[in-house]
Every structure is written in C-alpha cells, then in structure tokens.
Amino acid sequence: MNDFGKKGDLVSALKAYEALKQTTIGPNMFVYRTIIDVCGFCEDSVKSRYIYEDLLNQKVTPNIYVFNSLMNVNAHDLTYTLHIYNDMRNLNVKADMASYNILLKACCLAGRVDLARDIYREVQDLESAGALKLDVFTYSTIIKVFADAKMWQMALKTKDDMLSAGVTPNTVTWSSLISACANAGLVEQSIQLYEEMLQAGCEPNSQCCNTLLHACVEACQYDRAFRLVQAWKDSNTSKTLSGDRESITEEVLETEETSESSLSSPQHISPLHHASFLKTFRFAPTITTYNILMKACGTDFFRAKALMEEMRSVGLTPNQISWSILIDVCGGSGNVEGAVQV
C-alpha cells in the first residue's frame, strides 16, 4: 500500500487494502493506519473518513496510532479533527503527545489562537503531572500560532518555557520566532533572534533568511537588507558572532563597494547596526529573495532590472510576482511606456 501511496495511486492502494482485509484474521491496526496515511499522501482525506466509519460499523475500536493518523490527514479541517478527538476520548483511547501536537497543528492551520492556547495549557498541566513530555514540535507549533497572530510576546515567552524545559529549538522554531517579531515590525529583535540561532549552532533555511530580509525592507532598512544578501552570497565570509564587530562591518562595506553594480542599496538608507550576524552557511538567494530586493529598489528601474538579470544568471526563473514588481518599479519611476513594454 505504501508503494502505491508514494506513486499517488490511491485506487490500487485501496484494492490492496481490501485484499488484506480478506486474508487477515481479526483487525489489523497497522493496515488501517497505513491506508489512512496513504489517503493523506494522495490528498484524499474524505476516503480516510470512510475507512474510519467502516471500522466503527464493524465494532472495531481504533488504537491511538490509527486515531492520530486520521486526525493528521484531516488536520486542515479543525471541526472534523476535534470530532475525532472527542470520539477517541469517548472510546477511552488515551491521547499521547502526538495527538496533542496534531490538535495544535489543526488550530494553527485554522488560525484558532484561543483554542491552541487552551490545548497548550492542558498539555503543560499534563507535563507537570508527569503524564507526558512536551517536545520540540509542540513548542514550535504553538510559537507558529502566536507568530501568525502577531503575538510576538507570547511567542518569546513560549521560547523561554521551551528552554526552561530543556528542549532545544530547531530551525523551524527559530524561523517562527523570527517571523513573530518580523510580522510585528521588530527588526532589531528579529536580528537578535537570528544571532541567537547562529550561536546555538542552528543553520537557517531560506524561509528564515527571507523573513529576516523582508523585515528589513518593510522597515526601510535597505542597506541592511542588501548587506545581508551579499553576506549570504559571499563564500569568503566566515566571521563568527564572537568576532570583532568593527572589522566585520569594514569587510561588508568593502564587499559592497566591489559589487555595487549588482547589489547597491537605494537612497535614504538607515545605518547598519548589527553586522555581527554574518556567518557562512549553506544558503543561496532564492526567487523570493530577489523579489524582496527588487521591491526595495523603490523607483530605481535599472537597479531592479539588474537584479532580475542576476536572478536569471544564477539559474532562477523570475515568476509572476517578479514581473509584477518590476512593472511597479518602472511605473513608479514615471516611465509608463517602459512599464507597458515590460
């Protein structure tokens, strides 16, 4: 069944499931869980619900793993997920940490901050009672809930809870924390979290870097945004956070002078305060990175166009957003004819 699921062939997977049902003596929870997971792989959550109803009609009580798979496959539908959770409780199937993590995931997808907070408090109480142990997924998910709701203070408090519990943040956690502050327009706090992330030995991903870049641009700190990208692109940059801040700043300024044609910043730039976040890691600018930088060009059409050409030169294909930004930049410069030609 798994092989069919990986191929997206749900029809064949269901045929295999029916065949296994005929040859298996008694309920096989592994088979039920597998076919439900396959429904998720094939993006057909409705089929998973039919399988669940079939189990109930046969008077079969699913175990915790089947329930968790069912809730996870249907996490996009909070109402149904809560319905399954209530069924689980009524059937005296005890929820585990994965169950609560899936509930938090469903709340996150539905934007239900209130319910997510209630569930978070519940699992904290259970942890205090020694019933379970919160993991990195729990903390990362609730932090993302707060980040999406622009509740940056709650996100930072959750990080403190996490560290106090001895749970180490991962890339997803740090990315959500940075997003929480970036969404609230707190650029300095975002960069401080970025520095903490590097100090912890956690390597940023493209989403994290682009979020930080977007925060700088939204705050009109264009110089910082362009220098960030230059630092990411420069394979010779290997300064650590413990290095001399002044020497790092000088190196970045020298780098900017040698690459002014491709990554010069717009006018009215703000001073560079935190140059200590520079560090070499495996990240290259993405299409989103270039789109954000093009937006930062304001009305400088030639600079924006140069960025698009550079995007192509590194093997990236401009998307619809890229062209839309370029047209806006051209139109903003008063070159209506040029905007039409683009």
Single-letter residue type at 79: T
Q: What is the pLDDT along the chain (342 residues), one digit of tens a residue?
A: 767 767 777 888 888 888 888 887 777 899 999 999 999 999 999 999 999 999 999 899 999 999 999 999 999 999 999 999 999 999 999 999 999 999 999 999 999 999 999 999 999 999 999 999 999 999 999 999 999 998 999 999 999 999 999 999 999 999 999 999 998 889 999 999 998 998 998 888 888 889 989 999 888 888 888 888 777 766 434 443 333 333 333 333 333 333 333 333 343 333 333 333 344 445 677 899 899 999 988 888 888 999 999 999 989 999 999 999 998 888 766 555 554 455
Where b means 16+ CB within 10 Å and e means fewer, 6-15 reads eeebbeebbe
Please name the residue that has the structure tokens 């329930």. 67
Residue pLDDT, tens place only, 192-226: 999 899 899 888 888 888 998 999 988 888 888 88
Domain boundaries, the chain: 297-342
Query: How many residues belong to the chain?
Result: 342
> Phi/psi at 275 (nearest 5 deg)?
-90, -5
Residue pLDDT, tens place only, 29-39: 999 999 999 99
Q: Record the tokens describing residue 194, joined without a space.
A: 């970025």
Residue pLDDT, tens place only, 8-67: 778 888 888 888 888 877 778 999 999 999 999 999 999 999 999 999 998 999 999 999
Spatial separation of the C-alpha atoms in residues 118 and 122, rounded to whole Å: 6
Spatial separation of the C-alpha atoms in residues 341 and 235, rounded to whole Å: 37
pLDDT value of position 235: 41
Spatial separation of the C-alpha atoms in residues 231 and 89, rounded to whole Å: 52
Q: What interhelical angle do 206-218 and 171-183 show, nearest 10?
A: 10
Single-letter residue type at 67: F
On whether the CB atoms of residues 103 and 73 are closer than 8 A, the answer is no
Spatial separation of the C-alpha atoms in residues 279 and 172, rounded to whole Å: 19
Strand, coil or helix: 238: coil
DSSP string, 260-291: HHHH---SSPPPP---TT----S----HHHHH
